[in-house]
Amino acid sequence: MTREQISERREALLDKVESIQADIKTTEHGSERERRLNRGVSKIIEEINQLDEREAVLKAERAVEIQAGMKSGKYAIERGDGFDLDRDPIRDHKDVPYFTGSNPWDSLESGVLGRSVSVDEAKSRALSAVEVASGLSDASRSKATGLIENQDPDGVIARYALVTSDPDYLSAFSQMMRDTTPLLTDPEIRAARRVREFGRAMSLTDSEGGFLVPFQLDPSVIMTDDLGISDIRRISKTVVATGDVWNGVASGAVSWSWDVEAAEVSDDATTFTQPTVVIHKAQGFVPISIEALADEANVTEAVTTLLVDGRNDLEGTALTLGTGSGQPFGIIVAVTAGALSSASTDAFAIADVYALHDALPARFAARSTWLASPLAYSLIRQMGTDGSPAPFLTESAGNLLLEAPTATSSYMDGVINAGQTNLLLLLGDFSNYVIADRIGMQVEMVPHIFSTSNNRPTGQRGFYAYYRTGADSVNDSAFELLDVT
């Protein structure tokens, strides 16, 4: 049998099991008919297990064929630009290309997730998994690779990427999001158990339920192309937090000195501080009708995309204007106290742009980036005249403003309101604005939604998701903010 035939036969057998189980529910308990029906279920499950074993053999044979083909040049991996709208990368997980040399998800039961395995081995497997995992754009692969290589000294992110990107877990997750009692294969059960055990070991999940989102769908990894409403996450320093608070180390510039030969060195010590970023919980909920859940071909991807879009909008506001109370500190709120006032009341002029640029300390200027709303940038473009143009913000010049790159946040002020605070333009070194993420977004399925008016079911299920993150400026002197007032 081919893999397609095996899949069709398995689906038919599963339908038959559901039918028999429905008959068992209406049969007298302990009767001969119930025993006969149960024996029938056992035989069907045995055949399903045999199909799984046959499929595993075919899968291994195909992997060997692909590996040989890639070595000979017959095959090559082509990823494209990201999600293919005509295919669900979660449900079609068996189309994942295999990493040449070895399958990164092989032998996960042998303890690769344990502390006895070296960090280097865990990272090597995880990087291989990122390279061949389905449903990731090149930008997302690059970000995931950077997280594993540069921000994972203990191998925690590597192990997380490895277990949650396993094709068997992708399939299990998709089914668990559709059905509260899914019929999983043995490999899928083992994959889901590994993720649950890893989540509990890393304090990412608890005993009350919830499933870690597959690595390919985790908003901390996905790099979408439509985040124009806020570039703050892209330009800021992102770190991985392992507790409720991220603790860093910061210091001022070291004061060197000139000393004569054999003279005692002067006290040039700098002062070290320990900036902290508090982690907060964000949550979202997506209701979906039972009919849509049954009919939608790519329901897992569709629901996750909705959750990611909601997170992006929530974060866009918080990373700009967050108060720090129950939410991250937005960069504007964090540095408002030292805002520079415009030269003229309620008037924004070229002189204000130059004044803000000149006010930033030289040590931060080389790595500085502008941040403003699209409306504010439009005002700057209109400042020039025929005799005195303002060509410092044009596409041909790479959208540079006084030789510094520009970023956008639609949540900043873009219209000047007379007599009010108008925080219009920010310049700074965003490596001093830290976004601390707890890895892993969790999703739980709510099997029935009840009406608030009569407490009866509405014929809907729901997906409840939550994750944890925090942000704050760790050095306010690295930023200059303009208040047109």
Alpha carbons 401 and 389: distance in angstroms, whole number: 13
In DSSP terms, which residues pair with 401 in a beta bridge?
Answer: 404
- Orientation angle between helical segments 32-72 and 3-25, nearest 10 degrees: 160
pLDDT tops 50 at residue 95? no
Amino acid 109: pLDDT? 58
Predicted TM-score of the model (pTM):
0.65
Q: Which pLDDT score, from 0 to 100, does residue 50 have?
A: 82
The yes-or-no verdict on residue 479 having pLDDT over 90 is yes
Percentage of the chain beyond pLDDT 90 is: 24
Dihedral sign (CA 357, 362, 365, 366) = positive
Q: Give CA–CA dist 312/229, Å, rounded.
A: 9
Instruction: Give me the chain's average pLDDT, please.
Output: 78
- Over residues 282-299, the mean pLDDT reads 78
Burial of 11 (0-12, 13-18, 19+ CB in 10 A): exposed
Tokens representing 261? 């030969």
101 pLDDT tier (thresholds 50, 70, 90): very low
Mean pLDDT over 167-171 rounds to 84
> Helices 156-164 & 186-201, crossing angle to 10 degrees?
160
Say if residue 100's pLDDT is above 50. Answer: no
> Comparing 205 with 352, which gets the higher pLDDT?
352
Residue partners of 14: CB distance under 8 A and separation at least 6: 48, 183
Residue 17: what pLDDT?
75
Question: What are the tens digits of pLDDT across the range 178-237?
Answer: 776 778 888 888 888 888 777 766 655 544 456 777 777 676 666 554 444 688 988 999
Alpha carbon distance 61, 139 (integer Å) = 32
In this prediction, residue 210 carries a pLDDT of 61
Residue 260 or 385, more confident = 260
What beta strand segments (E) does 306-412 contain? 340-341, 369-372, 406-408
Closest to 18 measured CA to CA, from 47, 51, 40: 40
Q: Where are the alpha helices (DSSP H) in 83-231?
A: 119-132, 138-150, 156-164, 167-178, 186-201
Q: Could you read off the pLDDT of 371-398 as tens digits, one per residue? A: 999 999 888 888 866 555 554 655 555 5
- For residues 245 and 279, the answer to whether their CB atoms sit within 8 Å is yes
**Whole-angstrom distance, CA of residue 401 vs CA of residue 370:** 8
Type of residue found at 57? V
What pLDDT score was predicted for residue 83?
42
Which of the pair, 136 or 93, is modelled with greater confidence?
A: 136
